[in-house]
Amino acid sequence: MKYSGWPEPGELVVGRIDEIEDFGVFVDLLEYEDKRGLCHISEVASGWIKNVRDHVSVDQRVVAKVLDVDESAQQIDLSLKDVNDHQRKDKIQEWKNERKADNWMEQSFGDDIADEKYAAVANELLAEFGSMYAGFEEAAIHGAEALEDTDLDDDEIEAIVETARENVSVPYVKVTGYVDLEVFDGDGVDVLKEALQAAEGNGEVPASEASGGSEDSSSGVPEEVELEVTYVGSPEYRIKVQAPDYKTAEAELETAADRAAAVVDEHGGSALYHRERNTDEE
């Protein structure tokens, strides 16, 4: 997607040098529709410049800083020398990420997505996350929950989450679930403690309830998984899982709930696992 407006002074922009003159270079702004800027020779590089072509070449991709914008004169003044290596690297990565997000938008809504719909969805992501890529990244990590404060409808959210989870590489993912635990006998407190320890991977699942009926089934959590159980409000407990991928995270979440339920069931109690928090009491 290219922006139809104008860049702001001080903004970093990605461009392609399309013409070189003795007095400077003209830069096609790759993020903006039909926008071209001029970088005066004094802004190409620090120090005295004998030949501008010693510093830049036609078709070279550059990152420039916007010095001034005169919309009435259709003029954008740029500087190449005011951009350091760190800024250049970060801006290029940001631009590449947005190009990826642009492809993901088409994957989510079709190659023939109408400009109006594209703009509406893109603007929601930009307003909430600062960039389309960040919106897809958050959707990959947190699912539909990440988009609940936007004005996107359920179908749009579902499409974005599905595409994000197929394409976005994240260092880890987090999922949350809840389990209601109740014990009715006199040792209820001790049983609940044992159930929570089992959920967290500390202790043994009762043999009669262990997966596959194994009599020596350990309730340990894989090394690459982080799991935390916290009290929400009687009888509800929150289970949070951090894992390298969603398949692992979802599996460990349900397994943790099953471990707690097995302990409670063995003592005549009840357990109910659910993904959303129970707000009936609030």
What pLDDT is recorded for position 122? 94
Per-residue pLDDT at 277: 67
Res 4: pLDDT: 82
**Strand, coil or helix: 274:** strand
Was domain 12-82 assigned CATH 2.40.50.140?
A: yes
Domain boundaries, the chain: 12-82, 86-167, 173-274
In which element (H, E) is residue 173 found? strand 173-182
pLDDT in tens, the chain (282 residues): 678 899 999 999 999 999 999 999 999 999 999 999 999 999 999 999 989 999 999 999 999 999 999 999 999 999 999 999 999 999 999 999 999 999 999 999 998 999 899 999 999 999 999 999 999 998 988 889 899 999 999 999 999 999 999 998 777 888 899 999 998 877 788 889 999 999 998 755 444 444 443 333 344 777 778 899 998 888 999 999 998 778 888 899 999 999 999 999 988 888 889 877 665 544
pTM of the model: 0.60
CATH code of domain 86-167:
1.10.150
The radius of gyration of the chain's CA atoms, rounded to the nearest angstrom, is: 28
Q: What distance, in Å, lies between the first and last C-alpha atoms of the chain?
A: 44
Give me the helices (H) in 18-153, please.
85-109, 115-129, 132-142
Q: Are 108 and 162 within 8 A, CB to CB?
A: yes
pLDDT of 203 reads 53
Res 105: pLDDT: 96
Domains 12-82 and 86-167 share a fold: no
CATH topology of domain 173-274: Alpha-Beta Plaits (3.30.70)
- pLDDT value of position 280: 52
Tell me how crowded residue 102 is: count the other CB atoms within 10 A of its CB.
16
For residue 182, count other CB atoms closer than 10 A to its CB: 14
> Cα–Cα distance between 184 and 60 in angstroms, integer?
74
- Tell me what pLDDT residue 44 has: 96
Residue 176 contacts by C-beta under 8 Å, 6 or more apart in sequence? 238, 239, 240, 241, 253, 275
